[in-house]
Amino acid sequence: MKILSSSQIKECDSATIEKGISSISLMENAAKKCANWIVDNFKLNQSFSIFCGNGNNGGDGFAIARMLYEKGFDIEVFINKENMKFSRDAEVNFKKIKAISGITIKDYSEFDNRDNSVIIDALFGYGLNRELSYDFKNLIEKLNQIPVPRISIDIPTGLFADKVIDEDSIVFKADFTLTFQFYKRSFLHPETGKFCGKIIVLNIDLDKDFINEIETDYFVIDENLIKEIYKPRGDFCHKGTFGKSILVGGSYGKMGAILMSSLSALKTGSGLTFTIAPECGNVILQSQIPEAMFIDSGENFIDKIEIQDKAVYGIGPGLGKKIETQKALLEFLENYKNPVVLDADALNILAENQKLNLIPKNSVITPHPLEFERLFGKSANSFERLELAKQKAEELQIFIILKDHHTAIVTPQKKVYYNITGNSGMAKGGSGDVLTGILTSLISQRYDIEQACIFGVWLHGKAGDFAAAAYSKEAMLPTDFINKIGSVYQYLNT
């Protein structure tokens, strides 16, 4: 799914109107989709307080108020009575609700929420481009303090569609955001996404030709894209068809990391899987994952990384940073020119030695925010970090997977794919090790590297969602979502 900027969304609205749909009809359609979702998710005896601005977002709110009233809900609408100069389409819908005696229209200052009604925010839409005024800040702070469900229409008031906000910004805290046709980038970054609650994308039938033709560097990974990428197994295949994965890592006391990487590579479908680890992990690895072949390197830490032909390497989980291990990794990268997957201590070693130039082209690195900072320097926020990642991905010709609540895949062509699977239950040690194994396995199975990154991150998150459903976010373990990888494949094959 494409992510369009606020200016591109305006162009898309205009292109839709040029095809013969009037702007008021487009507003009506958007409001109807919102009203239908609300009807499906709230009880009929629920009352609603709808806060409307003067622009088209307010017009959506007026139309939603009318439609919910017609469905039998109790509705109050709140406006700024000192400034009732509405946009043209908002004016049309305001006149319609003004003619309905059962809908009460009040000033913002008259809100007291004595009936615990659901609050709907239709104050500003995606077009907000300035800081809120003092009066609106006070209103939003008041609404945020009331313990009732809160819904934003299109985007929570106070957020910008495409950029970060100041740390002390006042933003409406939504439980649900009903947005139109596209995700906004601000939904997908931690500083801003925390205000959005659950994102509901409503298709309002904007012009498909325009959407197909418009260029963007930002995308959300959806299931349509995954189904285009996923390659079901053919019947006439053998283990060589599905590649050779070599997972490199582990050190004394950290053998679980490379065990989970090796196991996830197998579960993802690797035809042949090898684990290079120190001898102290032999019994652990061979007893826990007999399907993976063991190659010893050193006694308690790795001191050599053997190069094999026609294999894909995933290096880093539990690796440690012993001097001998650092030397082994750097020597390997000096002599190995095919793409590799690098994570954890492999990244830390490269950062400490300032040897980023050794990363082979088209390789994949998977840093969390602190690892990214060690590699490339500090960023003020996640938006700046993403811009820096785009610059470095192009400069080094590598794929950077920025791990976060919504992990972002950055390509050498500076495209960004945001992932929306996964959950906070995956915020446990070992989760990244699982991802390393998944990515290594998919690349070894001859998935295009960009597609392997997209599919791998989605698969990792989806397995985590299945594990959370089975065990809870609190109790689930990385090994649980390794074991749910098979369930995800079954899901894709239904």
How buried is residue 53: exposed, middle or buried, by Cβ count under 10 Å (0-12/13-18/19+)?
buried
CA nearest to 404, candidates 386, 380, 391, 387? 386
* 154 marked as part of a ligand binding site: yes
User: Beta partners for 56?
Assistant: none
* 58 marked as part of a ligand binding site: yes
* 121 marked as part of a ligand binding site: yes
Entry field: residues in the chain: 494
Question: What pLDDT does 162 receive?
Answer: 93
The secondary element (H helix, E strand) that includes residue 393 is: helix 382-396
CA angle 393, 184, 442 (to 5 degrees): 45
* 128 marked as part of a ligand binding site: yes
Residues of the chain with CATH 3.40.1190.20: 226-492
* 298 marked as part of a ligand binding site: no
Instruction: Round to whole Å and give the CA distance between 173 and 109.
Output: 19
Q: Per-residue pLDDT tens for 237-251? A: 777 778 899 999 999
In the chain, what percentage of residues exceed pLDDT 90?
A: 93
H-assigned helices in 445-477: 449-471
The average pLDDT across 257-282 equals: 97
Tokens 């649980």 belong to residue: 480
Q: Do the bridges between strand 47-52 and strand 74-79 make them parallel or antiparallel, or are there none, so unpaired?
A: parallel
What does R_g of the chain's alpha carbons equal in angstroms? 26
* 403 marked as part of a ligand binding site: yes
Answer whether residue 286 shows pLDDT above 80. yes
CB 27 within 8 A of CB 56: yes
The average pLDDT across 297-313 equals: 96
Q: Per-residue pLDDT tens for 64-91? A: 999 999 999 999 999 999 999 999 999 9
* 55 marked as part of a ligand binding site: no
Answer whether residue 131 shows pLDDT above 90. no
Answer whether residue 128 shows pLDDT above 90. no
How buried is residue 276: exposed, middle or buried, by Cβ count under 10 Å (0-12/13-18/19+)?
buried
Q: Give how far the C-alpha of residue 494 lies from the chain's centroid of Cα atoms, to the nearest Å.
A: 24
* 330 marked as part of a ligand binding site: no
What average pLDDT is seen over the chain?
A: 96
Instruction: Round to whole Å and give the CA distance between 487 and 482.
Output: 10
Question: What pLDDT does 480 receive?
Answer: 97
* 56 marked as part of a ligand binding site: yes
Question: What pLDDT does 14 receive?
Answer: 95
Non-local CB neighbours of 177 within 8 Å, separated by 6+ positions: 151, 152, 154, 155, 156, 187, 196, 197, 198, 199, 200
Three-state SS at 30: helix
* 135 marked as part of a ligand binding site: no
* 125 marked as part of a ligand binding site: yes
Instruction: Round to whole Å and give the CA distance between 408 and 389.
Output: 10
Instruction: Round to whole Å and give the CA distance between 310 and 131.
Output: 56
Three-state SS at 51: strand
* 309 marked as part of a ligand binding site: no
* 126 marked as part of a ligand binding site: yes
Non-local CB neighbours of 92 within 8 Å, separated by 6+ positions: 24, 59
| CATH superfamily of this structure's domain 6-216 | YjeF N-terminal domain (3.40.50.10260)
Instruction: Round to whole Å and give the CA distance between 401 and 363.
Output: 11
* 257 marked as part of a ligand binding site: yes
Read off the tokens for 248.
């490199």
CB 175 within 8 A of CB 146: no
Question: What pLDDT does 238 receive?
Answer: 72
Q: Per-residue pLDDT tens for 134-180? A: 999 999 999 999 999 999 999 999 999 999 999 899 999 999 999 99
* 404 marked as part of a ligand binding site: yes
* 157 marked as part of a ligand binding site: yes
The average pLDDT across 290-303 equals: 96
Question: What pLDDT does 485 receive?
Answer: 98
Give the confidence band of 126 by pLDDT, cuts at 50, 70, 90: confident
* 407 marked as part of a ligand binding site: yes
Decide if domain 226-492 falls under CATH 3.40.1190.20.
yes
* 150 marked as part of a ligand binding site: no
In the chain, what percentage of residues exceed pLDDT 70?
A: 100
Residues of the chain with CATH 3.40.50.10260: 6-216
* 366 marked as part of a ligand binding site: no
